[in-house]
Amino acid sequence: MAVVKTTGARIAAVCSCVPTKRFDNLTDSGEFSEEEIRKVTGMAGVSARRLAGDSVCSSDLCITAAKRAMDRLGWASDSVDALIMVTQTPDYFLPSTACVVHHQLGLGDHCAAFDVGLGCSGYPYGIWLAAMMLQGGGFRRALVLHGETPTRFSDKADRSVSLLFGDAGSATALEASHDGPEWNYALHSDGSGYHSMIIESGGFRDRFGADPRRHCVSMNGALIFNFTIKRVPALIDETLLGAGLSSGDVDYFIFHQSNQFIMKHLCTKQSISLDKVPIILKDFGNTGGASIPLTLTEGKLHRPADRALRLMLVGYGVGLSWGSALVDLHPEAILESVELDNSMQASA
Protein backbone atom coordinates (compact mmCIF):
# COMPACT_ATOMS: atom_id res chain seq x y z
CA MET A 1 0.00 0.00 0.00
CA ALA A 2 1.01 3.61 -0.36
CA VAL A 3 1.87 5.65 2.70
CA VAL A 4 -1.27 7.39 3.95
CA LYS A 5 -1.33 10.80 5.60
CA THR A 6 -3.43 12.71 8.12
CA THR A 7 -3.39 16.29 9.33
CA GLY A 8 -5.15 18.19 12.06
CA ALA A 9 -4.38 16.08 15.15
CA ARG A 10 -1.96 16.36 18.02
CA ILE A 11 -0.99 14.07 20.90
CA ALA A 12 -1.93 15.75 24.16
CA ALA A 13 -0.85 12.97 26.54
CA VAL A 14 0.40 9.41 26.73
CA CYS A 15 -0.03 7.62 30.04
CA SER A 16 0.94 4.02 30.75
CA CYS A 17 -0.02 1.68 33.57
CA VAL A 18 1.62 -1.53 34.79
CA PRO A 19 0.75 -3.84 37.70
CA THR A 20 2.75 -3.36 40.89
CA LYS A 21 3.78 -7.04 41.01
CA ARG A 22 7.33 -7.43 39.70
CA PHE A 23 8.53 -10.88 38.62
CA ASP A 24 12.29 -11.43 38.43
CA ASN A 25 13.09 -14.05 35.81
CA LEU A 26 16.35 -15.08 37.47
CA THR A 27 15.11 -15.45 41.04
CA ASP A 28 11.37 -16.15 40.74
CA SER A 29 11.27 -18.73 37.90
CA GLY A 30 10.92 -22.30 39.11
CA GLU A 31 9.98 -24.05 35.88
CA PHE A 32 13.41 -24.08 34.22
CA SER A 33 17.06 -24.54 35.06
CA GLU A 34 19.21 -21.50 35.77
CA GLU A 35 21.14 -22.15 32.55
CA GLU A 36 17.92 -22.20 30.48
CA ILE A 37 16.70 -19.01 32.09
CA ARG A 38 19.97 -17.16 31.50
CA LYS A 39 20.06 -18.29 27.88
CA VAL A 40 16.52 -17.16 27.10
CA THR A 41 16.61 -13.92 29.06
CA GLY A 42 20.08 -13.05 27.78
CA MET A 43 18.94 -13.34 24.16
CA ALA A 44 15.61 -11.58 24.67
CA GLY A 45 16.92 -9.00 27.12
CA VAL A 46 14.16 -9.57 29.68
CA SER A 47 15.26 -9.62 33.31
CA ALA A 48 11.95 -8.74 34.97
CA ARG A 49 8.30 -8.35 34.08
CA ARG A 50 5.10 -6.95 35.56
CA LEU A 51 2.31 -9.46 36.19
CA ALA A 52 -1.40 -8.70 36.45
CA GLY A 53 -3.35 -10.57 39.11
CA ASP A 54 -6.11 -13.02 38.22
CA SER A 55 -8.79 -10.35 38.66
CA VAL A 56 -6.99 -7.61 36.72
CA CYS A 57 -7.75 -7.21 33.01
CA SER A 58 -6.22 -5.04 30.32
CA SER A 59 -9.24 -2.76 30.71
CA ASP A 60 -8.30 -2.07 34.34
CA LEU A 61 -4.80 -1.01 33.35
CA CYS A 62 -6.12 1.16 30.52
CA ILE A 63 -8.81 2.77 32.70
CA THR A 64 -6.18 3.71 35.28
CA ALA A 65 -4.00 5.23 32.56
CA ALA A 66 -6.96 7.05 30.98
CA LYS A 67 -8.06 8.55 34.29
CA ARG A 68 -4.56 9.88 34.87
CA ALA A 69 -4.38 11.36 31.37
CA MET A 70 -7.80 13.02 31.61
CA ASP A 71 -7.04 14.36 35.07
CA ARG A 72 -3.70 15.83 34.02
CA LEU A 73 -5.27 17.41 30.94
CA GLY A 74 -8.35 18.65 32.76
CA TRP A 75 -10.62 16.83 30.31
CA ALA A 76 -14.23 16.48 31.43
CA SER A 77 -15.65 13.02 30.77
CA ASP A 78 -18.31 14.43 28.43
CA SER A 79 -15.66 16.14 26.28
CA VAL A 80 -14.35 12.88 24.81
CA ASP A 81 -15.85 12.14 21.38
CA ALA A 82 -14.20 8.81 20.54
CA LEU A 83 -12.78 5.85 22.44
CA ILE A 84 -10.74 3.18 20.63
CA MET A 85 -9.79 0.11 22.69
CA VAL A 86 -6.98 -1.90 21.10
CA THR A 87 -6.52 -5.32 22.70
CA GLN A 88 -6.35 -9.04 22.13
CA THR A 89 -7.09 -9.76 25.80
CA PRO A 90 -10.66 -8.44 26.10
CA ASP A 91 -12.77 -8.68 29.24
CA TYR A 92 -15.51 -10.57 27.40
CA PHE A 93 -16.38 -11.97 23.97
CA LEU A 94 -19.25 -9.53 24.15
CA PRO A 95 -19.86 -6.72 24.82
CA SER A 96 -16.85 -4.90 23.46
CA THR A 97 -14.31 -3.91 26.09
CA ALA A 98 -14.64 -0.34 24.81
CA CYS A 99 -18.18 -0.25 26.18
CA VAL A 100 -16.98 -1.46 29.59
CA VAL A 101 -14.32 1.25 29.62
CA HIS A 102 -16.78 3.87 28.32
CA HIS A 103 -19.00 3.20 31.33
CA GLN A 104 -16.17 3.22 33.88
CA LEU A 105 -14.83 6.52 32.55
CA GLY A 106 -18.31 8.07 32.59
CA LEU A 107 -18.14 9.15 28.95
CA GLY A 108 -21.18 10.67 27.23
CA ASP A 109 -23.62 8.86 24.97
CA HIS A 110 -22.40 10.95 22.02
CA CYS A 111 -19.00 9.21 22.26
CA ALA A 112 -18.18 6.55 19.67
CA ALA A 113 -16.59 3.51 21.34
CA PHE A 114 -15.29 0.36 19.70
CA ASP A 115 -12.63 -2.36 19.93
CA VAL A 116 -9.77 -3.09 17.57
CA GLY A 117 -8.61 -6.71 17.84
CA LEU A 118 -4.96 -6.24 16.95
CA GLY A 119 -1.90 -7.08 19.00
CA CYS A 120 1.70 -6.13 18.31
CA SER A 121 0.86 -3.78 15.42
CA GLY A 122 -2.21 -2.28 17.06
CA TYR A 123 -0.81 1.02 18.33
CA PRO A 124 0.05 2.56 14.93
CA TYR A 125 -3.33 1.36 13.65
CA GLY A 126 -5.10 2.95 16.62
CA ILE A 127 -3.30 6.27 16.21
CA TRP A 128 -4.19 6.30 12.50
CA LEU A 129 -7.86 5.60 13.22
CA ALA A 130 -8.09 8.34 15.84
CA ALA A 131 -6.29 10.86 13.63
CA MET A 132 -8.64 10.03 10.75
CA MET A 133 -11.66 10.63 12.99
CA LEU A 134 -10.30 13.96 14.20
CA GLN A 135 -9.33 15.01 10.69
CA GLY A 136 -12.84 14.35 9.41
CA GLY A 137 -14.39 17.06 11.57
CA GLY A 138 -17.01 16.79 14.27
CA PHE A 139 -14.73 14.91 16.66
CA ARG A 140 -12.54 17.06 18.88
CA ARG A 141 -11.04 14.65 21.39
CA ALA A 142 -10.20 10.94 21.19
CA LEU A 143 -8.71 8.33 23.49
CA VAL A 144 -6.69 5.42 22.09
CA LEU A 145 -6.33 2.76 24.77
CA HIS A 146 -4.01 -0.16 24.18
CA GLY A 147 -3.62 -2.83 26.81
CA GLU A 148 -2.60 -6.47 26.98
CA THR A 149 -2.24 -9.10 29.70
CA PRO A 150 -0.28 -11.80 27.83
CA THR A 151 0.95 -13.41 31.04
CA ARG A 152 -2.64 -14.56 31.53
CA PHE A 153 -2.50 -16.70 28.37
CA SER A 154 1.10 -17.94 28.64
CA ASP A 155 1.89 -21.54 29.54
CA LYS A 156 4.34 -21.34 32.44
CA ALA A 157 6.06 -24.50 31.16
CA ASP A 158 6.71 -23.01 27.70
CA ARG A 159 9.99 -21.16 27.95
CA SER A 160 9.56 -19.65 24.47
CA VAL A 161 6.86 -17.34 25.87
CA SER A 162 6.60 -17.59 29.67
CA LEU A 163 9.88 -15.77 30.37
CA LEU A 164 9.19 -13.01 27.86
CA PHE A 165 5.74 -11.55 28.42
CA GLY A 166 4.65 -8.78 30.77
CA ASP A 167 1.37 -6.92 31.25
CA ALA A 168 0.63 -3.24 30.60
CA GLY A 169 -2.04 -0.76 29.59
CA SER A 170 -1.98 2.72 28.13
CA ALA A 171 -4.04 5.74 27.18
CA THR A 172 -3.15 8.18 24.43
CA ALA A 173 -5.18 11.39 24.35
CA LEU A 174 -5.44 13.13 20.98
CA GLU A 175 -7.02 16.47 20.09
CA ALA A 176 -8.05 18.10 16.85
CA SER A 177 -5.68 20.92 15.96
CA HIS A 178 -6.07 23.38 13.10
CA ASP A 179 -2.29 23.59 12.73
CA GLY A 180 -1.59 19.93 13.40
CA PRO A 181 1.35 18.61 11.35
CA GLU A 182 1.17 15.96 8.65
CA TRP A 183 1.51 12.43 9.99
CA ASN A 184 2.41 9.43 7.83
CA TYR A 185 1.44 5.76 8.16
CA ALA A 186 2.11 2.45 6.44
CA LEU A 187 -0.15 -0.47 7.47
CA HIS A 188 0.19 -4.06 6.27
CA SER A 189 -1.15 -7.59 6.83
CA ASP A 190 -0.27 -11.13 5.76
CA GLY A 191 -2.98 -13.45 6.99
CA SER A 192 -1.22 -16.52 5.61
CA GLY A 193 0.88 -16.41 8.80
CA TYR A 194 -2.08 -16.33 11.20
CA HIS A 195 -1.12 -19.69 12.71
CA SER A 196 2.41 -18.61 13.65
CA MET A 197 1.20 -17.06 16.90
CA ILE A 198 -2.17 -18.33 18.06
CA ILE A 199 -4.43 -19.41 20.91
CA GLU A 200 -6.21 -22.31 19.28
CA SER A 201 -8.99 -22.95 21.80
CA GLY A 202 -11.47 -20.69 23.52
CA GLY A 203 -12.88 -18.99 20.43
CA PHE A 204 -15.81 -20.32 18.47
CA ARG A 205 -13.59 -22.44 16.17
CA ASP A 206 -12.81 -24.64 19.21
CA ARG A 207 -14.92 -23.27 22.02
CA PHE A 208 -14.22 -25.76 24.82
CA GLY A 209 -11.07 -27.59 23.69
CA ALA A 210 -10.04 -30.31 26.14
CA ASP A 211 -6.28 -29.74 25.84
CA PRO A 212 -5.38 -26.95 28.28
CA ARG A 213 -2.26 -26.13 26.26
CA ARG A 214 -4.45 -25.06 23.37
CA HIS A 215 -5.91 -22.35 25.61
CA CYS A 216 -2.42 -20.82 25.89
CA VAL A 217 -0.51 -19.01 23.20
CA SER A 218 1.80 -20.97 20.94
CA MET A 219 4.44 -19.19 18.91
CA ASN A 220 6.63 -20.21 16.00
CA GLY A 221 9.61 -18.13 17.05
CA ALA A 222 11.69 -18.83 13.95
CA LEU A 223 8.90 -17.78 11.61
CA ILE A 224 8.18 -14.61 13.62
CA PHE A 225 11.89 -13.75 13.57
CA ASN A 226 12.18 -14.23 9.81
CA PHE A 227 8.98 -12.24 9.24
CA THR A 228 10.29 -9.36 11.34
CA ILE A 229 13.70 -9.02 9.74
CA LYS A 230 12.11 -9.21 6.29
CA ARG A 231 9.18 -6.85 6.75
CA VAL A 232 10.24 -4.18 9.25
CA PRO A 233 13.24 -2.72 7.37
CA ALA A 234 11.07 -2.35 4.27
CA LEU A 235 8.35 -0.77 6.42
CA ILE A 236 10.77 1.83 7.77
CA ASP A 237 12.09 2.64 4.30
CA GLU A 238 8.57 2.88 2.88
CA THR A 239 7.43 5.25 5.61
CA LEU A 240 10.44 7.53 5.27
CA LEU A 241 10.14 7.61 1.50
CA GLY A 242 6.44 8.47 1.68
CA ALA A 243 7.19 11.31 4.08
CA GLY A 244 10.15 12.55 2.06
CA LEU A 245 12.50 12.10 5.01
CA SER A 246 15.61 10.15 5.96
CA SER A 247 16.29 8.23 9.16
CA GLY A 248 18.40 11.18 10.31
CA ASP A 249 15.24 13.31 10.40
CA VAL A 250 13.66 11.02 13.01
CA ASP A 251 14.48 11.69 16.66
CA TYR A 252 13.38 8.31 17.98
CA PHE A 253 12.27 4.99 16.55
CA ILE A 254 9.83 3.51 19.06
CA PHE A 255 9.74 -0.21 18.32
CA HIS A 256 7.33 -2.77 19.70
CA GLN A 257 9.46 -4.29 22.44
CA SER A 258 9.59 -7.79 21.02
CA ASN A 259 13.09 -9.08 21.63
CA GLN A 260 16.39 -7.32 22.28
CA PHE A 261 18.29 -9.36 19.70
CA ILE A 262 15.69 -8.64 17.00
CA MET A 263 15.58 -4.92 17.77
CA LYS A 264 19.35 -4.53 17.69
CA HIS A 265 19.48 -6.52 14.45
CA LEU A 266 16.95 -4.11 12.90
CA CYS A 267 19.03 -1.14 14.00
CA THR A 268 22.15 -2.60 12.44
CA LYS A 269 20.38 -3.43 9.20
CA GLN A 270 18.91 0.08 8.94
CA SER A 271 22.01 1.89 10.22
CA ILE A 272 19.99 3.39 13.07
CA SER A 273 21.93 4.47 16.15
CA LEU A 274 20.87 2.63 19.30
CA ASP A 275 20.66 6.07 20.93
CA LYS A 276 17.51 6.57 18.85
CA VAL A 277 15.90 3.29 19.93
CA PRO A 278 14.80 3.14 23.58
CA ILE A 279 14.68 -0.43 24.91
CA ILE A 280 12.73 -1.15 28.10
CA LEU A 281 12.55 -4.95 27.83
CA LYS A 282 14.85 -5.48 30.80
CA ASP A 283 12.30 -4.27 33.33
CA PHE A 284 8.95 -4.86 31.61
CA GLY A 285 9.31 -7.67 29.08
CA ASN A 286 7.25 -7.95 25.93
CA THR A 287 3.87 -6.35 26.68
CA GLY A 288 2.50 -6.75 23.16
CA GLY A 289 1.45 -3.67 21.23
CA ALA A 290 1.09 -1.72 24.48
CA SER A 291 4.89 -1.78 24.65
CA ILE A 292 5.05 1.18 22.24
CA PRO A 293 3.21 3.70 24.47
CA LEU A 294 4.94 2.12 27.50
CA THR A 295 8.29 2.86 25.86
CA LEU A 296 7.20 6.45 25.25
CA THR A 297 6.60 6.93 28.98
CA GLU A 298 9.47 4.77 30.32
CA GLY A 299 12.13 5.23 27.63
CA LYS A 300 13.63 8.44 29.05
CA LEU A 301 13.28 10.42 25.83
CA HIS A 302 15.27 13.63 25.62
CA ARG A 303 12.72 16.32 24.82
CA PRO A 304 13.91 19.76 23.67
CA ALA A 305 11.81 22.61 25.01
CA ASP A 306 11.73 24.49 21.72
CA ARG A 307 10.56 21.93 19.19
CA ALA A 308 8.52 18.80 18.69
CA LEU A 309 10.08 15.36 18.56
CA ARG A 310 9.59 13.39 15.36
CA LEU A 311 8.83 9.77 16.25
CA MET A 312 8.40 6.66 14.16
CA LEU A 313 6.17 4.17 15.97
CA VAL A 314 6.73 0.64 14.65
CA GLY A 315 4.55 -2.38 15.49
CA TYR A 316 4.87 -5.90 14.11
CA GLY A 317 3.90 -9.46 14.96
CA VAL A 318 0.79 -11.57 15.54
CA GLY A 319 -1.56 -11.69 12.58
CA LEU A 320 0.76 -11.40 10.77
CA SER A 321 0.43 -7.64 10.88
CA TRP A 322 2.82 -4.71 10.80
CA GLY A 323 2.49 -0.96 10.70
CA SER A 324 4.14 2.39 11.31
CA ALA A 325 3.09 5.87 12.33
CA LEU A 326 5.42 8.83 11.81
CA VAL A 327 4.13 11.46 14.23
CA ASP A 328 5.15 14.57 16.16
CA LEU A 329 5.25 14.92 19.93
CA HIS A 330 5.19 18.51 21.10
CA PRO A 331 7.07 19.67 24.21
CA GLU A 332 3.86 20.32 26.14
CA ALA A 333 2.53 16.79 25.58
CA ILE A 334 2.28 14.86 28.84
CA LEU A 335 4.17 11.57 29.28
CA GLU A 336 3.46 9.77 32.54
CA SER A 337 3.34 6.29 34.01
CA VAL A 338 1.31 4.90 36.89
CA GLU A 339 0.91 1.55 38.64
CA LEU A 340 -2.14 -0.50 39.59
CA ASP A 341 -2.10 -2.68 42.69
CA ASN A 342 -3.20 -6.22 41.88
CA SER A 343 -5.62 -6.11 44.79
CA MET A 344 -7.50 -3.33 43.00
CA GLN A 345 -9.70 -3.31 39.92
CA ALA A 346 -10.08 -0.03 38.11
CA SER A 347 -13.38 -1.23 36.64
CA ALA A 348 -14.78 -2.59 39.90
Q: Are strands 4-6 and 183-189 parallel, antiparallel or unpaired?
A: antiparallel
**CB 196 within 8 Å of CB 174:** no
51: helix, coil or strand?
Answer: coil
Burial level of 230, CB count in 10 A (0-12/13-18/19+)? exposed
Q: Is 216 a catalytic residue?
A: no
Please, which residues have CB within 8 angstroms of residue 70's CB and are 6 or more apart in sequence? 77, 80, 105, 173
Q: Is 259 a catalytic residue?
A: no
E strand intervals along 78-154: 82-86, 112-116, 141-146
Distance of CA 263 to the CA centre of its chain: 15
| Dist. CA 197–CA 218, nearest whole Å | 6
**CB 108 within 8 Å of CB 81:** no
Instruction: Looking at 180-259, list the stretches that DSSP marks H as alpha helix, in order from N- to C-terminal side.
Output: 221-243
The residue from 17, 146, 256, 259 that is catalytic is 256
Q: Is 120 a catalytic residue?
A: yes
The residue from 25, 184, 259, 286 that is catalytic is 286
| Dist. CA 215–CA 207, nearest whole Å | 10
The residue from 57, 120, 216, 267 that is catalytic is 120
CB count in 10 Å sphere of residue 5? 15
| Dist. CA 218–CA 154, nearest whole Å | 8
Sign of CA dihedral 170, 176, 181, 186: positive
Q: Which residues are catalytic?
A: 120, 256, 286
